[in-house]
């Protein structure tokens, strides 16, 4: 079994492997890692081409950021305004404090309506709440209709990317999966052929479905409506075909006004894939005749994050995944190495809020290069928050104790110039005299890198030598 297979299994069985170990397993297949890196870099490149066509890009980001800052500062009022207008529109509104409440509400609606065929378009919130496994336990099978999500669902894997759920897979993998589940021709790896097979398969699911679950990209307080964006058209196929439509949204999806959609829709697809806009931007306000429309508004830790001044602006996120695509670590470690529904840099600042202990590794899975912050269309200071989460996690005791001991020792030496000079001199002497002490397997630097040469003189020694006469005076 390859390391990669092992990695998949670990992911599937929810045995969380810390990011560094999972990343090492991922990189074990270097050719695939290179492909993953190049493919996502290409998406970043397409984003660059798209945004450079708009001279006003940076002002747009600023505008979006300010709208979101404003919204968060008035969140309770906008939620109430949204609820009131949605109710007037004939939409039923539900509130879920956490993942369990969210799942219970949906199960209840499924039971009340006597439904057994459910389709779902992409919703990272339902992933975060682990809705599918929950419903499956209750005997309800949910069919994910986004192509990428359907692929990973067949494989019993979580999505590895919030916009491109199956980006960790090659077409050969998809071909094999479809051969097993849809009876496609073995070895036919043509994406066109495979997509067509999924189209036929899912058309039947849409036509038969009784209940459709969708996510929400934006919910507009002043109108009580919500917008769902897809390229495939699967959210609409589901929502318009089924007798019951349930839209699930985190409380942070609210924007105040319809005019603000102009700002966000201009940013979203360009940031995500480099498209000028998604193929479908669907605006739902009222159920169609004879249809039930429900909105589930979910907190699940978001108000807690709102109360953390250093981290609250992570709630501005519009889930474009631009930070994934630009992140040199994400591209070389794959989404599953983040062992959470939302991976990548944004996931690394959102998930510690959900569970500090389980996700303490994530803020360290970054070089703090800052590229994520620069591509973010709503100007979340992602890399600064990664740094700040490290402080919180260390403070709360979620960092490896041995690391803390090492850091304490280092801090002590560096705070005492004489000790520092002695240690430096000794260190360099040891490296020259007994290189094997440093150049060994226990030294992670040395595993794939040579140590720097150890000069006899430090700069300080040289400086003192050079200035011995003048300094004496």
Partner 1 sequence: MPGRETILNAARKNKPAFIEAPPAWAEGASIAPEQLTQKFIKTLESIGGKVIQCNDYDPIRAKLQEQLATGRFIANTIQGLGATSTEVQTNSNAQSLEPVEMAFIAGTLAVAENGAVWVYESQLLNRLLPFICQHLVLVVSRETLVSTMHAAYRKLDIAAEGYGVFIAGPSKTADIEQSLVIGAHGARSLLVYLVGGTEI
Partner 2 sequence: MKVGLFVPCYIDQFYPSVAIATLQLLEKFGCEVVFPLGQTCCGQPMANSGFANLATGCDNNFVKNFVGVDFIVSPSGSCVLHVKEHLKHPDKEKAQFIREHIYELTEFLIDVLQVETLPATFPHKVGLHVSCHGQRGLNLSSMSELVAPEFSKPEKLLSMVAGLELTKPKRVDECCGFGGTFCVFEEAVSVKMGKDRIIEHEANEIEYITGADTSCLMHLEGILKRKGSMVQTIHIAEILNSDLVPFKAERS
48 binds partner 2 (CB under 8 A): yes
> Which tokens in the block code for residue 231?
């390229």
Residues in binding contact with partner 2, number by CB under 8 A: 76
Beta strands in 342-409 (DSSP E): none
Residue 415: contacted member of partner 2, partner 1, none (CB under 5 to 8 Å, by partner type): partner 2
* Angle value at C-alpha 457, between 451 and 458, nearest 5 degrees: 75
Interacting residues with partner 2 between 50 and 109 (CB under 8 A): 51-52, 54-55, 57-58
Interacting residues with partner 2 between 380 and 439 (CB under 8 A): 387, 390-395, 399, 403-404, 407-408, 410-417, 420, 424, 427-428
Q: How far is the CB of 435 from partner 2 (least distance, A)?
A: 13
What Å distances lie between residue 189 and 139, 144, 177, 435, CA to CA?
33, 22, 11, 52
> Which tokens in the block code for residue 243?
């007798």
Contact 256, 221 (CB under 8 A): yes
Closer Cβ to partner 2, 12 or 429, answer by number: 429
Binding mask of the shown chain, residues 2 to 41, with x at each position contacting partner 1 by CB under 8 A: -------------------------------------x--
Q: Report the candidate in 431, 433, 434, 423 with the shortest Cα–Cα distance to residue 452.
A: 431
450 binds partner 2 (CB under 8 A): yes
Among 24, 44, 74, 176, contact with partner 1 (rule: CB under 8 A): 74
- Give the count of alpha carbons within 13 A of 462, CB side only: 5
312 binds partner 1 (CB under 8 A): yes
458 binds partner 2 (CB under 8 A): yes
What gap in Å lies between CA 240 and CA 232, rounded to an integer? Answer: 14
Interacting residues with partner 1 between 119 and 158 (CB under 8 A): 145-148, 151
Are β-strands 211-214 and 254-255 bridged in parallel, bridged antiparallel, or unpaired?
A: unpaired
Interacting residues with partner 1 between 255 and 274 (CB under 8 A): 256, 258-259, 261-263, 265-266, 273
Interacting residues with partner 2 between 324 and 383 (CB under 8 A): 326, 328-329, 332-333, 364-371, 373-375
CA torsion, ordered 410, 413, 417, 422, to nearest 10 deg: -110
444 binds partner 2 (CB under 8 A): yes
192 binds partner 1 (CB under 8 A): yes
* Angle value at C-alpha 287, between 286 and 288, nearest 5 degrees: 115
Which residues share a beta bridge with 213?
120, 246
Residue 289: contacted member of partner 1, partner 2, none (CB under 5 to 8 Å, by partner type): partner 1
233 binds partner 1 (CB under 8 A): yes
> Which tokens in the block code for residue 162?
């919030």
Residues in binding contact with partner 1, number by CB under 8 A: 97
């Amino acid at each position: 079994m390859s390391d990669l297979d092992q990695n998949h299994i670990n992911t599937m069985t929810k045995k969380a492997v810390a990011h560094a170990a999972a990343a090492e397993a991922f990189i074990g297949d270097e050719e695939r890692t290179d492909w993953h890196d190049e493919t996502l870099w290409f998406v970043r490149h397409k984003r660059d081409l798209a945004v450079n066509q708009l001279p006003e890009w940076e002002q747009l980001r600023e505008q979006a950021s300010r709208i979101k800052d404003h919204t968060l500062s008035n969140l309770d009022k906008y939620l109430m305004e949204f609820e009131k207008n949605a109710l007037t529109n004939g939409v039923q509104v539900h509130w879920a404090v956490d993942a369990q409440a969210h799942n219970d509400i949906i199960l209840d609606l499924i039971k009340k309506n006597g439904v057994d065929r459910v389709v779902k378009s992409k919703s990272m919130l339902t992933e975060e709440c682990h809705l599918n496994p929950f419903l499956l336990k209750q005997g309800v099978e949910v069919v994910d209709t986004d192509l990428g999500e359907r692929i990973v669902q067949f494989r019993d894997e979580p999505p590895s990317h919030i916009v491109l759920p199956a980006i960790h897979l090659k077409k050969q993998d998809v071909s094999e999966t479809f051969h097993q589940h849809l009876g496609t021709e073995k070895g036919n790896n043509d994406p066109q052929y495979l997509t067509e097979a999924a189209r036929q398969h899912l058309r039947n699911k849409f036509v038969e479905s009784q209940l459709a679950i969708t996510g929400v990209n934006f919910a507009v307080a002043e109108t009580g409506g919500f917008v769902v964006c897809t390229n495939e058209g699967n959210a609409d196929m589901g929502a318009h075909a089924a007798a019951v439509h349930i839209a699930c949204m985190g409380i942070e999806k609210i924007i105040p006004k319809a005019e603000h959609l102009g700002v966000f829709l201009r940013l979203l697809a360009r940031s995500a894939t480099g498209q000028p806009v998604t193929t479908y931007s669907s605006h739902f306000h009222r159920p169609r005749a004879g249809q039930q429309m429900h909105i589930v508004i979910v907190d699940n830790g978001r108000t807690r994050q709102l109360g953390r001044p250093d981290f609250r602006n992570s709630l501005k996120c519009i889930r474009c995944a631009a930070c994934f695509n630009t992140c040199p670590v994400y591209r070389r470690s794959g989404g599953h190495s983040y062992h959470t529904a939302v991976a990548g840099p944004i996931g690394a600042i959102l998930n510690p809020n959900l569970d500090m202990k389980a996700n303490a590794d994530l803020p360290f899975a970054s070089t703090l290069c800052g590229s994520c912050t620069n591509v973010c269309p709503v100007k979340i200071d992602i890399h600064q928050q990664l740094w700040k989460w490290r402080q919180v996690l260390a403070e709360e005791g979620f960092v490896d104790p041995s690391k803390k001991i090492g850091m304490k020792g280092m801090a002590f030496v560096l705070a005492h110039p004489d000790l520092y000079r002695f240690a430096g001199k000794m260190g360099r002497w040891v490296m020259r005299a007994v290189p094997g002490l440093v150049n060994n397997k226990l030294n992670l630097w040395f595993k794939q890198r040579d140590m720097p040469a150890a000069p006899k003189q430090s700069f300080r020694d040289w400086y003192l030598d050079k200035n011995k006469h003048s300094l004496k005076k």
